[in-house]
Amino acid sequence: MTRKKIPPTLNVLSILIPLAFAFATDNTLAHEGHGFGSEVIYLWEDGAPGSEGQTAPERYIPRAEAVPGETPFVDPYHRISDIHNPSLTAFFPPEHLANGSSCIILPGGGHKYLVFDLEGTMIAKRLNEFGIAAFVLKSRLSKAKDSTYERDVHELADAQRSIRLVRSRAAEWGLDPKRIGFMGFSAGGEVACLSQLHYDAGDKENADPIERASSRPDYSVIVYGVTDAGAYPIPEDAPPAFIMICGDDKKPIEHALYYIELKKADIPAELHIYTNGGHGFGFDGRTPEWSLHPVANWDLRLKEWLTDMKFMREY
């Protein structure tokens, strides 16, 4: 599934394609609403611990608007902020492709908002093409306006709870409870790293069946996100990791150091550092020119790794 590259001479397309996509994205998302047309599952039925009294609705940020105090966005993507009741939006693959593997996806956005389509729903739909069930996480955000949440407390708790939830319902959804991954982009990649290092086997005596499930991801995918290299010890049974960043992005050396730490701990890991590509591109990039770089096919490298690690079947 190699993408066709856009010839650099077709400069007019660099103007027309983003405009056409923006129009389609605006109309599609406006029609589907904030749930983006898929099943929404709240992590806690009675509200998240630490969010007591927080009843304000999520803030949906179309591309023409701005986060308070920031310049309006100029790309065709949409953000969600002010999340107090974290949830998963489920995307299941066609039955003839489904292989029992699943992945939770946490979009980036500097912990201020989530770029919910580019690094969320669009990723989920591509994973569905690989036969993987995908769940896009809306987590609480530690740097949203007036936020009282902390990255290493509330955002991590949401990641852990999401893994427990999917594992607790794996039989219901036809999923393998031993092939549940967690993928994060940018700020979401930070949380993906945290979830790789902080987990437990579950509380078997808890009345809540979700809390009885393990919060350990079976694999971690950290995409241009801070890895906290050296900040926490690496558990001896930490899950394998796929790590990806571009050399012209922030802190590629940190990603290399984290990879080395994992290898020293004898944790299976694969690291890809592409020369060009920048930051915040998801699977599809923000401009047509992005598709000219080798990084445009990084999703195929992920598919190969998942196949090699036996987290999915090749078709």
- Provide the β-strand partners of residue 270: 242
Count structural domains, the chain: 1
CA distances from residue 207 to 48, 52, 213, 262, 272 in whole angstroms, order as listed: 16, 21, 11, 35, 42
How far apart, in whole angstroms, are the C-alpha atoms of residue 300 and residue 298? 5
pTM of the predicted model as reported, rounded to 2 decimal places: 0.86
| Domain membership flag for residue 2 | no
State what percent of residues in the chain have pLDDT above 90.
74
Least confident of 50-64, 202-216, 275-289: 50-64
Model confidence at 37, pLDDT cuts 50, 70, 90, reads low
Q: What pLDDT, in 10s, does the model give residues 109-129?
A: 999 999 999 999 999 999 999
pLDDT at 45: 92
| Domain membership flag for residue 314 | no
| Domain membership flag for residue 1 | no
| Domain membership flag for residue 315 | no
Structural tokens at position 196:
């790789």
Q: Is 229 or 174 the better-scoring residue by pLDDT?
A: 174
State the burial class of residue 259 (Cβ atoms within 10 Å of its Cβ: 0-12, 13-18, 19+).
buried
DSSP run (H or E) holding 245:
strand 241-246
Q: What pLDDT, in 10s, does the model give residues 4-16?
A: 333 333 333 333 3
Task: Domain of residue 148: give its range.
Answer: 13-308
DSSP run (H or E) holding 197:
helix 187-197
| Domain membership flag for residue 289 | yes
Q: What pLDDT, in 10s, does the model give residues 174-215?
A: 999 999 999 999 999 999 999 999 999 999 999 999 999 999
Instruction: Flag whether pLDDT at 87 surpasses 60.
Output: yes
CATH of the domain at 289: 3.40.50.1820
The residue whose two tokens read 């009741």 is 85
All residues at 6 or more sequence positions from 27 whose CB lies less than 8 Å from its CB, including other chains: none
